[in-house]
Amino acid sequence: MQVAALWRYPVKSLRGESLTSAELTPDGIPGDRGLVVHDREDRLVTARTRSALLGLPAVLGPGGEALISGRPWDSAEAGGLVEAAAGEGARLVPAPRAERFDDTPLLVATDGAIAFLELPDERRLRPNIVLSGVEGLAERDWPGGRLRIGDAVIKVWHVCERCVVTTLNPDDPSDQDTGVLRRINETLDKRVALNCSVEAPGTVAVADSAELL
């Protein structure tokens, strides 16, 4: 097995950025989901109910600050884009720890499961790491085990329960294919890809080898 892709999402529910390498820390990839969207009542807003958020690209700038469509996250321009996507009064805020991740700080997807589901785009799973060279649904036997990836070791906890975000085209969230989630629900008991945590921090890069320990 090897690393086929790495992804970071500087803002939860916004479009992520492709990486060639990343540090894995106990809190996942630095800068991943460091910001979230809140509504005017200070409640968390995600793409589950505001799908247009996926249409906004978010990356980390040279200084480590989040940029929304190229604008600093705390600028009026970025704020206007978020409000247009998520509703009047919506705004970006530093992620409270309880809101940063839905479950664990790292999500690993495999090419075998992606092919089984005939997914048009791996990004529908919102993975941090995509592994290639995995046969079929082998990932489902990994919970409780550990993976060495690059010089890091991660613990596999369980297969991730999926939501409506899997049905949305990451490049055009107005384009929805409900059949994606239906296949996940009917053939995989609503679950695909792996919730993981970092046991031994280290650097990973695209094309690094991966092994199940």
Q: Which residue type is seen at 43? A: R
Tell me the CB-side half-sphere exposure of residue 200, using CA atoms within 13 A. Answer: 9
* Number of alpha carbons in the 13 Å side-chain half-sphere of residue 48: 8
Residues of the chain with pLDDT > 90: what percent?
99
Q: What is the mean pLDDT of residues 94-114?
A: 96
Condensed to tens digits (0 to 9), the pLDDT of residues 160-176 reads 999 999 999 999 999 99
> pLDDT tens digits, residue range 174-209?
999 999 999 999 999 999 999 999 999 999 999 999
Q: Report all structural domains of the chain as residue ranges with CATH numbers, in order of start.
A: 2-28+102-212 (2.40.33.20), 35-100 (no CATH)
Answer yes or no: are the C-beta atoms of 157 and 198 closer than 8 Å: no
8 A C-beta contact, residue 119 and residue 180: yes
The pLDDT mean for the chain works out to 97
> What confidence score (pLDDT) does residue 168 get?
95
Q: How far apart are CA 205 and CA 111, in angstroms?
A: 17
pLDDT at 79: 97
- How many whole angstroms separate alpha carbon 185 and alpha carbon 181? 6
What confidence score (pLDDT) does residue 184 get?
A: 96
* Closest among 14, 5, 39, 41 to 205, alpha carbons compared: 5
Please check the confidence at residue 2 and state whether its pLDDT lies above 90.
Answer: yes
Tell me the mean pLDDT in the region 33-55: 97
| Strand 106-110 versus strand 129-132 pairing type | parallel
- Cα dihedral sign, 88-91-27-167: positive
For residue 133, pLDDT beyond 90: yes
Sheet holding 66-68, edge to edge: 58-60, 66-68, 71-72
Return the pLDDT at 120.
87
119-122 contact pairs (CB < 8 A, 24+): 119/180, 120/169, 120/177, 121/169, 121/170, 122/5
With a cut of 90, say whether residue 95 has pLDDT above it: yes
